[in-house]
């Protein structure tokens, strides 16, 4: 499984791997233009493949006020 | 996906709105060019300027400070401690740490010490938090700049912020606000300092990517008082359109500026005075269009409500 962390929502989900980032975002119900996806110190684009057993973070970029 | 500029390295940032994708090094060049172009097109800054950068601790303002320093401008950071439990201390920590790593000490205005922390001020005056916050922040941005000899105040508003604001102003046909919506509000009489938004050409995703790749530690949590902000609804609507039609957000806002719909023809700058001449607040001396400025009226209401 791929561990997907969404720290701003205190949420973690698991999706079966391997999967493309775009598919993971869709599974997490997240709009791609509103987030960046990171893995350690790397930024991932939507076409990159995440392997089973790996962890990624989804960070919202939207600020209000 | 390979970087579309150097065609050698794996892309780290995909930008459908520019039909492009960049590796980190090429993205830095792209980002820097966008900001430089934004400054040049509207003559936002000159090398002689002393820039007061308003830093909340969030990604946009810290990225703004970072890139202005990199571009060689003379900058200092101003942080307003809003007095929001937990969130404000975490924000101040990020700003202080960022500044310290670059040999800087931010100027800090503590709203508790000023007697007007935002949550209490909003509660006592029955006003929306974001509205109160805006009044107080604008007041201190100008006051600190004017009193400390800064020639310009810079804020981290980005393309998404400005496009969302434009959509809101259009939906309400708010001609007054539309006429003042520009990345450049020129210096005015009675101590009104020039205000600029150098990130007006870059999106939130781009500032977040830049901050992440540069290793800038910023507050990722949202302000707890802005969770219901209407700007978020407009941003959401524009995101939906942007996903179907990449580049629409940029064309929407830049088209507004290019056609001078909101600004005096040809200047690129909004008329901050709205054709009126400001005086000075009788209580604090700040530029004001009424006898007492908005901040002093707000503070007086808070003080009175406290005494009841």
Residue B265's pLDDT band, with cuts at 50, 70 and 90, is very low
Tell me if B226 and A34 make a contact (CB, 8 A cut-off). Answer: no
Say how many C-beta atoms besides its own lie within 10 A of residue B146's C-beta. 18
Please report whether residue B15 resides in a domain: no
Burial state string for B85-120 with b = 16 or more CB within 10 A and e = fewer than 16: eebbeebbebbbebbeeeebebbebebeebebbbbb
Please report whether residue B142 resides in a domain: yes
B225 contacts in chain A (CB < 8 Å): 65
Please report whether residue B282 resides in a domain: no
Tell me if A65 and B231 make a contact (CB, 8 A cut-off). Answer: yes
Considering only CB atoms, which residues of chain B are within 8 Å of chain A? 1, 11-14, 16, 21, 24, 58-60, 130, 133, 160-161, 204-205, 207-209, 212-213, 215, 220-223, 225-227, 229, 231-232, 235, 239-240, 242-243
Please report whether residue B32 resides in a domain: no
Each residue's pLDDT tens digit, B18-38: 999 999 999 999 999 999 999
Tell me if B242 and A33 make a contact (CB, 8 A cut-off). Answer: yes
Residue B274's pLDDT band, with cuts at 50, 70 and 90, is low
Please report whether residue B264 resides in a domain: yes
Each residue's pLDDT tens digit, B144-179: 999 999 999 999 999 999 999 999 999 999 988 898
Each residue's pLDDT tens digit, B38-84: 999 999 999 999 999 999 999 999 999 999 999 999 999 999 999 99
As for how many domains chain B has, the answer is: 1
Alpha-helical runs (H) found in chain B = 24-41, 59-70, 87-100, 118-125, 129-148, 159-171, 175-179, 204-213, 230-244, 248-258, 294-307
Give ipTM to 2 decimals: 0.94
Please report whether residue B301 resides in a domain: no
A7 contacts in chain B (CB < 8 Å): 220
Query: Domain A2-60 classified CATH 3.30.2270.10?
Result: no
Closest chain B residue to A35 measured between Cα atoms?
B205
Residue B86's pLDDT band, with cuts at 50, 70 and 90, is very high
Q: Residue B199 — φ and ψ, nearest 5°? A: -95, 20
Expressed as residue numbers, the domain containing B250 is 42-276
pLDDT of residue B82: 97
The two tokens of residue B287 are 């530029």
Residues 6 or more apart whose CB falls under 8 angstroms from that of B256 comprise: B166, B181, B262
Closest approach of A49 to chain B, Cα-based (Å): 11
Low-confidence ranges of chain A (pLDDT < 70): 65
pLDDT of residue B98: 97
Q: What is the domain partition of chain A in residue ranges?
A: 2-60
Bridging pattern class, strands B107-110 and B74-81: parallel
pLDDT of residue B51: 98
Please report whether residue B137 resides in a domain: yes
Whether the pLDDT of residue B222 is over 90: the answer is no
Residue B256's pLDDT band, with cuts at 50, 70 and 90, is very high
Closest chain B residue to A8 measured between Cα atoms?
B221
Instruction: Find the CATH number of the domain harbouring B137.
Output: 3.40.50.620
């Amino acid at each position: 499984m791929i561990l997907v962390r969404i720290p701003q929502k205190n949420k973690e989900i698991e999706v079966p791997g391997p999967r493309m980032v775009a598919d993971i975002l869709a599974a997490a119900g997240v709009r791609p233009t509103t987030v960046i996806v990171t893995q350690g110190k790397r930024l991932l684009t939507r076409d990159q493949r995440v392997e089973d057993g790996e962890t990624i973070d989804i960070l919202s970029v939207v600020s209000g006020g | 996906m390979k970087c579309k500029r150097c065609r050698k390295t794996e892309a780290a940032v995909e930008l459908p709105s520019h039909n492009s994708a960049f590796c980190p090094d090429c993205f830095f060049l792209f980002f820097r060019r966008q900001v430089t172009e934004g400054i040049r097109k509207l003559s936002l800054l000159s090398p002689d300027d002393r820039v007061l950068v308003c830093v909340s601790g969030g990604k946009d303002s810290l990225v703004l400070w970072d890139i202005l320093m990199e571009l060689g401008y003379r900058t200092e950071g101003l942080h307003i401690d809003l007095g929001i439990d937990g969130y404000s201390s975490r924000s101040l920590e990020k700003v202080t740490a960022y500044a310290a790593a670059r040999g800087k000490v931010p100027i800090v205005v503590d709203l508790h010490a000023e007697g007007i922390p935002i949550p209490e001020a909003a509660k006592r005056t029955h006003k929306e938090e974001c509205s109160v916050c805006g009044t107080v922040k604008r007041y201190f941005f100008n006051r600190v700049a004017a009193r400390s000899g800064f020639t310009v105040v810079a804020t981290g508003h980005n393309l998404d912020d400005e496009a969302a604001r434009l959509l809101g102003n259009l939906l309400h046909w708010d001609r007054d606000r539309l006429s003042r919506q520009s990345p450049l509000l020129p210096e005015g009489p009675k101590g009104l300092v020039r205000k600029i938004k150098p990130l007006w050409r870059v999106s939130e995703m781009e500032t977040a990517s830049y901050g992440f790749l540069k290793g800038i530690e910023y507050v990722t949590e949202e302000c707890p008082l802005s969770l219901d902000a209407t700007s978020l609804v407009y941003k959401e609507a524009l995101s939906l359109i942007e996903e179907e039609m990449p580049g629409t957000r940029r064309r929407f806002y830049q088209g507004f500026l290019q056609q001078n719909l909101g600004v005096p023809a040809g200047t690129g700058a909004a008329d901050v005075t709205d054709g009126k001449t400001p005086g000075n607040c009788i209580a604090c001396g700040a530029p004001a269009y009424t006898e007492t400025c908005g901040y002093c009226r707000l503070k007086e209401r808070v003080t009175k409500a406290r005494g009841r």
